[in-house]
Amino acid sequence: MRLKTATLGYPRMGEFRELKKAVEAYWKGDVSETELNDVAKVIRKRNWQHQKDNGIAYIPSNDFSFYDQILDLSCALGNVPERFDYSGGLIDLKTYFNIARGNTSDSNNNQCASEMTKWFDTNYHYIVPEFSANTIFKL
C-alpha cells in the first residue's frame, strides 16, 4: 500500500516571484487585468501540475490569492467597506486592490486603504475586514 500525501497550500508567488512582479506592473498600469490574470493562470496550473507530478494525492483548490487570503474571504462574503460604493455582485480587481491599497488620487474620493496588520508576530500581514451595522454578508 502506497502512502497518500496531501498539501494544505502551495506558494502562490511563482518560482521567480512572477505574481508579485505582475501585480506591481498592473498597479502601475503597465499590464492589463487580462495580462495579470494570464500570469496567475500559468502559476496556478504550474503549481497544480508540480504537485501532481510529485505524487501528491490530495491537492487543495482555491489556495491562490492575488494579494491576501483574508481579503479574499471578506470579498467572497460581499464584505466591502461602505466607502467603496459596492452595490453587490462579484468584486472586481480594481475594488479588491483599492480595499488593500486605497484610492485617494481623486481629491473627492475618500477611499483610504483598510488597515493591515501582522498575523501574530510573523512577517505575514493581512487586510483587516471592516464591518458596520449595515454590513450584509452574501456569497
- Fill in the amino acid letter for 52: K
Percent of the chain residues topping a pLDDT of 90: 63
- Fill in the amino acid letter for 133: A
Give 24-80 pLDDT, tens digit per residue.
999 999 999 999 999 999 999 999 999 999 999 999 888 899 999 999 999 999 999
* pLDDT of amino acid 73: 94
Q: Which residue has the higher pLDDT, 90 or 23?
A: 23
Domain-by-domain residue ranges, the chain? 1-64, 67-139
C-alpha cell at 12: 502562490
Give 76-121 pLDDT, tens digit per residue.
999 999 888 888 888 999 999 999 999 866 555 678 999 999 988 8
- Fill in the amino acid letter for 88: G
Confidence (pTM): 0.84
Q: Are 22 and 39 in contact (CB under 8 A)?
A: yes
* pLDDT of amino acid 45: 95
Helical spans, DSSP H, in 54-125: 69-76, 93-101
Residue 51: other Cβ atoms inside 10 A: 18
